[in-house]
Amino acid sequence: MSGKSKYEEVTIATEPVFQGKIISLQVDRVLLPNGETATREIVKHPGAVAVLAIHEDRMIVVEQYRKPLGRSQVEIPAGKLEPGEDTASAAMRELEEETGFTCSEVRLLSSFYTSPGFADEILHLYVADKLTPGTAKPDEDEFIDCEAITLDTAKRYIEEGRISDAKTIAAVYAWQLHRLTGSYSL
Amino acid sequence: MSGKSKYEEVTIATEPVFQGKIISLQVDRVLLPNGETATREIVKHPGAVAVLAIHEDRMIVVEQYRKPLGRSQVEIPAGKLEPGEDTASAAMRELEEETGFTCSEVRLLSSFYTSPGFADEILHLYVADKLTPGTAKPDEDEFIDCEAITLDTAKRYIEEGRISDAKTIAAVYAWQLHRLTGSYSL
């Protein structure tokens, strides 16, 4: 047996635990391949987009406070998907809201699950490198600073822990790869 | 003002919502920089380790069912930190349990937050490239297959969506970079 349902865990029961503004949480009881049962704690998330935005050989990043970490972080522009929203449009919307930069096209680099052990969040990572500067329009309760950094600065921020999230590190790898090969893709 | 507490969100109240076997969930009410209040939904996680393990120019991966995604995925070996466990030891332990491969040293590539918007999970990504094959010892309720794949196969799995998680994609970028520069680091 192979393929996407290999070792499938069949749901016996689902207990809804929490329904929040952004995430929800449920606990599933599942039947394992050996006939035993187990529980799975599952966070549901609407999905997100992020943009590796390059302007004049610098990466556009935003600094914001991340309450789960108890400190601020430097990350590429990103945000949740709105219901029914196209992912490329969402990427362009978040880029403009958070940084003011606009672009006529974004290209998908990869889509990945951030924490497949306990969450269904998928993040669509785009690249945009023909940008027009403009004025940021953050949401009312969004407090962010925008910066354009060189690859060396990005590496230093990673060393210092100011950049330390999966999407931004993946984006810096893609940027480094583009420097070496001319392509952002693996 | 700058630094790690820029735009700090001060906790006014914390409501514990759920305490599970792996994650817990709380809702914090916070004071924003503009004097308004907001809520933050926060998942707490013990942290995790993962290993980019290279043997004879192939990457060691495991396939397992991921209940939050409703399908199986091919990922690098990984697992949760046990309480008080050293992260390098945890990486070597997970590698051996899931794949049978042992090694005398692992090197830290990077540590990153998987979903800083709603979770405090940090993942420590190691590389190991001097491996000794052995017999896997998965936990009783772990159903996994181990495979050693080439870089071309890894790229194909990414295209097909069989590999689609943040840590494995970061690892494949690091591996590709090592092919080009001789170093896994950015």
Query: pLDDT in tens for each of the 186 residues of chain A?
Result: 456 888 999 999 999 999 999 999 999 999 999 999 999 999 999 999 999 999 999 999 999 999 999 999 999 999 999 999 999 999 999 999 999 999 999 999 999 999 999 999 999 999 999 999 999 888 877 899 999 999 999 999 999 999 999 999 999 999 999 999 999 988
Cβ burial of B46 (10 Å; 0-12, 13-18, 19+) is middle
Rounded Cα–Cα distance for residues A87 and A46 (Å): 11
pTM of the complete model: 0.96
CB-CB contact of A44 with A80 (8 Å): no
Structure tokens at B80: 């949760």
pLDDT the model gives residue A140: 78
CA dihedral A122, A126, A131, A133 (to 10 degrees): 20
Nearest to A18 by CA among B27, B93, B76: B27
Q: Mean pLDDT, to the nearest integer, of B110-128?
A: 98
How far CA B15 is from CA of B40, B42, B44, B119, in Å, comes to: 10, 10, 13, 15
Partner A, chain B 34-73, Cβ-Cβ below 8 Å: 34, 36, 38-43, 45, 48, 63-69, 71-73
pLDDT the model gives residue A1: 42
Would the pLDDT of B2 be above 60? no
Rounded Cα–Cα distance for residues B129 and B40 (Å): 41
- With beta carbons under 8 A apart, name residues in chain A contacting B111: 164
- With beta carbons under 8 A apart, name residues in chain B contacting A40: 67-68
Q: Mean pLDDT, to the nearest integer, of B135-157?
A: 92
Question: Does residue A10 belong to the interface with chain B, where contact is any CB pair within 8 Å?
Answer: no
- With beta carbons under 8 A apart, name residues in chain B contacting A36: 141
Beta strands B37-44 and A144-149, pairing class: unpaired
Cross-chain Cβ contact B112/A42 below 8 Å: no
Rounded Cα–Cα distance for residues B2 and B4 (Å): 7
CB-CB contact of B144 with A41 (8 Å): no
Would the pLDDT of B1 be above 80? no
**Is position A140 annotated as part of the catalytic site?**
yes
pLDDT the model gives residue A150: 98
Cross-chain Cβ contact B38/A186 below 8 Å: no
How many of the other CB atoms lie within 10 Å of CB of B125?
Answer: 27
pLDDT the model gives residue B23: 98
pLDDT the model gives residue A160: 96
* Three-state DSSP string of A22-69: CCEEEEEEEECCCCCEEEEEEEECCCEEEEEEEECCEEEEEEEEECCC
CB-CB contact of B64 with B43 (8 Å): no
CATH number for the domain formed by residue range(s) A48-181: 3.90.79.10
- All CATH 3.90.79.10 domain ranges of chain A, comma separated, are 48-181
Closest CA–CA distance from residue B65 to any residue of chain A (Å): 6
Beta strands A24-31 and A37-44, pairing class: antiparallel
Which residues are registered as beta bridge partners of A43?
A25, A119
Question: Does residue B167 belong to the interface with chain A, where contact is any CB pair within 8 Å?
Answer: yes
User: Residue A181 phi/psi, 5° resolution?
Assistant: -120, -10
pLDDT the model gives residue A19: 98
